[in-house]
Structure 1
Amino acid sequence: MLHMDSFWKKKLDEFKTVKKNEEYERWVSSTLAPWNRQTGYKEKKYQNSSEITLKEVYTKEDVPDLDRKLGMPGEYPFTRGIYPNMYRGKLWTMRMFSGFGTPEDTNRRLHYLIENGETGLSIAFDMPTLYGYDADNPRSEGEIGKCGVNVSTLKDMETIFKGIDLSKVSTSMTINAPAAILTAMYLAIAKKQGVPFDKVSGTVQADILKEYIAQKEWMYPPEAHIRIIRDMMVYCTKNVPKWNYISISGYHIREAGSSAVQELAFTLADGFYYVDLGIKAGLNVDEFAPRLSFFFNSSINFFEEIAKMRAARRIWATVLKEKYGAKNPRSMMLRFHTQTSGYTLTWQQPLNNIIRTTIEAMAAVLGGTQSLHTNSYDEAWALPSDQAVKVALRTQQIIAEESGIPDVIDPLGGSYYVEWLTDRMEEEAYRYFDRIESMGGILEAIKKGYIQKEIADTSYKRQKRLESGEEIMVGVNKYIEEGEEPINYLKIDKKAEEAQIARLKEVKSTRDEEKVRKALEDLRKAMLDENENLMPYYIRAVEAYATVQEISDVGREIFGSWKEPVIV
């Protein structure tokens, strides 16, 4: 295994040899230039979101050593897909965000989507839950059920999954700071249903590094959250083998304003940190790496997104094999969920969002995603309505059943442009890895504000392009319609907050308080012992109907809080 200090530079050296493209240069001088003079065309600079400059056309000279880098589907380095028959064997899992309002509201939406052909459940949680606060906390006022479902106790989770057999569904939960608590609740429901832990399948996001980078929803200092993630990794590796205990998320990094290359680089850098974490916890890389999964954004620049996803697979496979010494091919397979972009959705002319989402969904499929969430056209206004979410689901189904795209594996493989762009995305990602390593690693880069500043600078540049008209958003800065009427969108009634507070009050009045007190005291003692795995204590606490905030507050008391650095 190579020493890590030399690894990234060695990979960058592989991109240094560039052959002169004589065929391209001949074409420019003999065909293109005369044509431009004849037609009066003024050449301009074309760049994608990653500021990679694009030529007019690409040839085989632009993609040297193509066969080695490309490989075949289901084989190292997995550029063309992680499974030999990809969508011929099994279509991607179709997941739609399903959390809103009360647990009863969300349960109805889940059953509605299952009846309409959804093949995997996906739960979003509201802001109080994401920050580890109960429904009756003053900070929760006005936020209950607004951006996801509210969960304060195990009773809420039981209601969400009423009538749903956990042995027959795969569930994805978008939760980070309190991820261990919500995972414990899910496992507690499985126990009540009599479902063995080795039959429980799904994903919990849990990627706390991207919270410090982008979404800003944490409870404790980084080291405390990382310790909890370590405990989840160890516990689930040994007890819940089908559970993906972390979904390393680039989605929110992109939504915060990053470029595609920054999303790729910062997400994989987070992933490598978690690999180091597992190894330091005493796990063999091939024991836990197969359960690491990823979550990418699919934005509007069609070919850039496809290249990003192909580059991600190749980088992950290469680094796991060459740097970490993985032997199991499953450790080298980068499995990922994709969600279409939120920042490309507009409240102006919202039906245009259906077209945007379709393009982004096609990019995700052509990029080889394992599961896909398509945003609804009204999500720039609010959480999606039933009608909008059905259109979003039907978008995936039409791509799957009518377009012919899934019929051939990696149909864009071998495209000179796609392969050249895949190489460029890979090279730029290695450049970031080298820079991050020189700063002491991803955690130090976050603490110094480097990652946050890179994203902020990129976001600022894009906003300036939009304001100047250099970058177009249809209906926003071009083809504008005056006097647009508001659309009908989902509104969360104040009654949802009242219902959740009432349910919480009822749970507290009927639970065994001595059992709660002991569970929380045991958790407190376990948190003080760095070598104690916290997951069994979380499970016992939620089974006693301790609340999300009561459990979170034990950690706040032990670990304290954290403020991010000022970015200048």
Structure 2
Amino acid sequence: MCDHCSPCYTAQFPMTDQNKQDKAVYTPADLEALGFDPETDLGFPGEYPFTRGIQPTMYRGRLWTMRQYAGMGDAEESNRRYKFLLANGTAGLSVAFDLPTQIGYDSDDPMSMGEVGKVGVAIDSLEDMERLFDGIPLDKISTSMTINATASILLALYVAAARRAGADTRKLSGTVQNDVLKEYIARGTYIYPVRHALRIITDMFAWANEHVPDWNTISISGYHMREAGSTAAQEVAFTLANGATYVEAAIAASLDVDRIAPRLSFFFNAHNNFLEEVAKFRCARRVWAQMMREHFGAKNPRSWMLRFHTQTAGSTLTAQQPENNIVRTALQALAAVLGGTQSLHTNGFDEALALPTEEAARTALRTQQIIAYESGAAQTIDPFAGSYYIESLTAKLERDVLALQEQIAQQGGMLAAIEKGWVQSEIQNAAYEYQRSVDSGEATVVGVNRFTRDNEPGVPIQRIDEELERKQIERVRALRMRRDAARWQVSLDRVRDHARNGANLMPAILEAVESYATVGEIASAMREVFGEYEESVVI
């Protein structure tokens, strides 16, 4: 028998499209070449640089929060789905809003035609928010809201609904995504020019710190950049660069870094390359900890901790052989758990076709529960620590992330890089390269370009009742007829005044939602002052 050289291993285990840059075998020599030091590069769980996780006991002390992203049609329909998920063991809610709500248009606006309730729940007013959470104790559950350009309005609606239900608003816990920078990069649901959008965010930071102290006022998102086609290293580098930009904006607004940083949270994608994803999460924690302590001078150890939610990769789901998506999602979820996530959403297997059915949502939740209670994965903290391959991969990703951040600095910082279209171009190039490899057959997608079948059996899909749009339009129009017009007008004027004079916008927005001003009306009041963002063409 020959020595265990790479050629023999390659012959026995052919390279796949996802590991061509990796060696076949890793040894202690690989760690030595990296200058790997377990004490400084790893430490212990719950200790700087948090490579091994931010909690000393991790899941042995408390499991991750099992969130299931849901929202469809109108508030009543979504409320039924939330109660179904809570009854099946979901520990926290995650709200999907429809496109008009995300970009600040009411359901009866001509811009909203055909989109009301289609990709999430339609929320126009405080009445809708109350119906959305009817019978759900807001001070006893955690709610994540995937909302960005209109995040300030939706947070105000949530706080107002909690007040009217008699909840202690200082006990509210949850997150608004509120990461507008990635909207300009990868997703597109922006409203205002970049620098005005940042001002709204820092206003939320300051207001929430005083009034809803347990609320995470931003979830800095790499998820959508990965969905747009970024690499793992780009996902981490661009997400952390966005995070640094928000911290800089907060400091410029005279906010203390050690008051703001502990409330920052992140949102990452769990993609298909299982071991790369585990290493990615470990790398992200280490880079963020170093950035916060050494660059920003944060003194509070909680400021150094990268807390993150993970969602399995929607872009990897296939309409062909959709049952295969259950396997993809399970592996992605396991990578997130072994990578140390604090919160997790698992996609429904039918989401390449439509919003998930109850059966698909239940299967997705059961996937998490099986990992938590049957797999043993939660028993040991960072079980991959010290692995020749994982530590080498974590270090390689760290080098790639830092190199990308240096390129961002050369562009003049993240805001300048976004405004020039550089970040968008980098992601588009990565997406093109991957799609080219799929089209050529170099990269395998099971059931799509290999292992296909001729006759695809149909699967039941969730369909949104077209009548829901008409009913939602009738509701918002009826609200306008019966609200106190004088109070409503005064509240919108105050929003405009605060936008112009630099006063914190949140008290004015809260007053407006309590006066039954709609999401579209409040967003439009700020549009009048701030204007709208015009996208640069990236060539």
Band the TM-score falls in, shorter-chain normalisation: over 0.9
Contact conserved, 1:206 with 1:229, CA < 8 A, in 2? yes
- 2:347 maps to 375
- CA displacement 1:286-345 (0-9 Å, x = unmatched): 111000000000001001111110000001111101111111111011000000000100
- 2:180 maps to 208
Whole-angstrom distance in 2 between the partners of 1:290 and 1:110: 29
| 1:45 CA displacement | 6.7
Determine whether 1:505 maps to 2:477: yes
- 2:524 maps to 553
| 1:563 CA displacement | 1.6
Amino acid at match of 1:85: T
1:437–1:114 distance in 2 versus 1, CA, 3 Å: same
Determine whether 1:566 maps to 2:537: yes
Determine whether 1:97 maps to 2:69: yes
Q: Secondary structure at the match of 1:248?
A: strand
Q: Secondary structure at the match of 1:159?
A: helix
Whole-angstrom distance in 2 between the partners of 1:32 and 1:320: 42
- 1:542 maps to 513
| 1:30 CA displacement | 4.6
Determine whether 1:81 maps to 2:53: yes
- 1:486 maps to 458
Equivalent of 2:275 in 303, 322, 327: 303
Compare 557-566 and 533-542 and name the one that shifted more. Answer: 557-566
- CA displacement 1:19-53 (0-9 Å, x = unmatched): xxxxxxxx9x95426747xx9x499876648xx82
1:76–1:554 distance in 2 versus 1, CA, 3 Å: same
Equivalent of 1:56 in 4, 24, 31: 24
Report 1:112-127 matches (<5 A): 112-127=84-99
Report 1:162-173 matches (<5 A): 162-173=134-145
- 2:5 maps to 32
Whole-angstrom distance in 2 between the partners of 1:555 and 1:45: 54
Report 1:396-411 matches (<5 A): 396-411=368-383
Q: Secondary structure at the match of 1:406?
A: coil
Determine whether 1:252 maps to 2:198: no
- Give identity over the alignment, percent: 52
Whole-angstrom distance in 2 between the partners of 1:48 and 1:316: 26
Whole-angstrom distance in 1 between the partners of 2:454 and 2:118: 29
- CA displacement 1:392-449 (0-9 Å, x = unmatched): 0000000000000000111111111111100011111110111101111101000000
Equivalent of 1:263 in 226, 235, 238: 235
Whole-angstrom distance in 2 between the partners of 1:300 and 1:33: 25
Contact conserved, 2:65 with 2:92, CA < 8 A, in 1? yes
Contact conserved, 1:46 with 1:55, CA < 8 A, in 2? no
Report 1:65-80 matches (<5 A): 65-67=36-38, 68-80=40-52
Counting matched residue pairs gives 535
Whole-angstrom distance in 1 between the partners of 2:537 and 2:522: 30
Whole-angstrom distance in 1 between the partners of 2:106 and 2:256: 38
Amino acid at match of 1:158: E
Amino acid at match of 1:299: H
| 1:198 CA displacement | 1.8
Whole-angstrom distance in 2 between the partners of 1:104 and 1:227: 34
Equivalent of 2:428 in 453, 456, 473: 456
Q: Secondary structure at the match of 1:483?
A: coil
Q: Secondary structure at the match of 2:5?
A: helix
| 1:173 CA displacement | 0.1
Structure-1-length-normalised TM-score: 0.92
Amino acid at match of 1:215: R
- 1:226 maps to 198
Amino acid at match of 2:403: R
Amino acid at match of 1:523: V
Report 1:96-495 matches (<5 A): 96-495=68-467
Whole-angstrom distance in 2 between the partners of 1:489 and 1:345: 15
- CA displacement 1:535-563 (0-9 Å, x = unmatched): 00000000001011100111111111122
1:34–1:150 distance in 2 versus 1, CA, 3 Å: closer
Amino acid at match of 2:347: N
Contact conserved, 2:17 with 2:442, CA < 8 A, in 1? no
Contact conserved, 2:6 with 2:23, CA < 8 A, in 1? no
1:79–1:42 distance in 2 versus 1, CA, 3 Å: closer
Amino acid at match of 1:65: F
Whole-angstrom distance in 1 between the partners of 2:408 and 2:14: 33
The gaps in structure 2 that reach 5 residues or longer are: none
Amino acid at match of 2:25: V
Amino acid at match of 2:516: Y
Whole-angstrom distance in 1 between the partners of 2:473 and 2:17: 51
Q: Secondary structure at the match of 1:84?
A: coil
Compare 331-340 and 483-492 and name the one that shifted more. Answer: 483-492
- 1:20 maps to none
Q: Secondary structure at the match of 2:316?
A: coil
Amino acid at match of 1:360: Q
Amino acid at match of 2:518: T
Whole-angstrom distance in 1 between the partners of 2:386 and 2:358: 40
| 1:486 CA displacement | 2.5
Contact conserved, 1:46 with 1:54, CA < 8 A, in 2? no
1:32–1:566 distance in 2 versus 1, CA, 3 Å: same
Whole-angstrom distance in 1 between the partners of 2:193 and 2:138: 33
The gaps in structure 1 that reach 5 residues or longer are: 1-26
- CA displacement 1:37-92 (0-9 Å, x = unmatched): xx9x499876648xx82111111222233312011000010000000000000000
Whole-angstrom distance in 2 between the partners of 1:171 and 1:397: 19
Amino acid at match of 1:454: E
Whole-angstrom distance in 2 between the partners of 1:155 and 1:270: 34
Whole-angstrom distance in 1 between the partners of 2:338 and 2:63: 12
Determine whether 1:520 maps to 2:492: yes
